[in-house]
Chains A and B, each alone.
Chain A
Amino acid sequence: DVKVTQSSRYLVKRTGEKVFLECVQDMDHENMFWYRQDPGLGLRLIYFSYDVKMKEKGDIPEGYSVSREKKERFSLILESASTNQTSMYLCASSNKLGPVTDTQYFGPGTRLTVL
C-alpha cells in the first residue's frame, strides 16, 4: 500500500514564526502536492511538484513556499505564519500513469493553528 506520512497531526505556532510541514511518500511517486482544506472551501491546491527540484504554483501560493530536494519528500514552508493560515494541510502524491489522470494518495493531514 502507498503510504504518505506527514510530520505532525497537530501543530500550534505563533504569528510570525517560520513553519515547516514535512511530507514523505514511500512509493517512488513523481508527483507531490500540498493542499489546504477549510470549511466550506473544499480542497485548494497550494503548490505541486512533478519532479525533484521542480515546483509549480497552485491556486493559492501566496504566503507559502515549497522544497523538493529528494523524490520522496516535499516540504511546505510558511515563511512568517499568520492567523489566516490556520487550516488543515493535506499532502498527496501520485505516479505518472501516462494518459490517465494520476490517482492521488493523501496523507492524514496536519491541523495547524496559528495564534
Chain B
Amino acid sequence: LAKTTQPISMDSYEGQEVNITCSHNNIATNDYITWYQQFPSQGPRFIIQGYKTKVTNEVASLFIPADRKSSTLSLPRVSLSDTAVYYCLVGDIVAAGNKLTFGGGTRVLVKP
C-alpha cells in the first residue's frame, strides 16, 4: 500500500507558481497518481492525474520522474481563489483488495 507524504502547508503570492511535491516511495507498478483540491466546507474535487512523465491540463501540470517515487503538482500563476488544501492520492483501479490512500494534504495560502 503506497503511503504518501506531503508538506503540511505553504504560502505564496498572487501571480506566482506553486509547486507541491508528494513522496510515494513504495508506489506499485499499476498505481496512478491523482491530485485533488478541497475548499473549506466542500468535498475534494479532481484536478489532475498521471502515470509517468508530464501531464498538463487547463488547471495544473503534474511532473512525475522516471522512478515515480514522487510527483509534483504545479499551479501556474495562482490567484487568491487557489487557496485550498491539495491532496495527493496514489492507487490502482478500485477493486477487491485495492485500497486508495490519500496524503495528509498541503494547505496552500495565496496572499495578495
Contacts and interface: CB of A to CB of B under 8 A. Distances in A.
Contact of B102 (A42, A94, A97): A42
Nearest to B31: A101
Contacts of B30: 99
Nearest to A101: B32
Interface residues of A, number: 34
B46 interface: yes
Interface stretch (B61-69, B76-84, B93-101): B93-101
Nearest to B106: A42
Interface stretch (A13-21, A62-70, A78-86, A103-111): A103-111
Contact of B104 (A30, A40, A97, A100): A40
Given A40-B104, A58-B99, A101-B34, A109 B43 contact: yes
Contact of B94 (A48, A59, A108): A48
B94 A96 contact: yes
Interface of B is mostly: loop
A59 B87 CA distance: 17
B43 A92 contact: yes
B93 A102 contact: yes
Contact of B96 (A35, A50, A59, A101): A50
Contacts of A94: 94
Given A42-B87, A42-B105, A106 B99 contact: no
Interface residues of B, number: 28
B42 interface: yes
Interface string B44-71: 1110010000000000000000000000
Contact of B101 (A4, A45, A103, A106): A45
A76 interface: no
Q: Which 7 A-B pairs have the closest CB atoms?
A: A106-B43, A101-B32, A42-B104, A43-B102, A31-B94, A42-B105, A103-B46
A24 interface: no
B95 A101 contact: no
Contacts of A90: 43-44
B17 interface: no
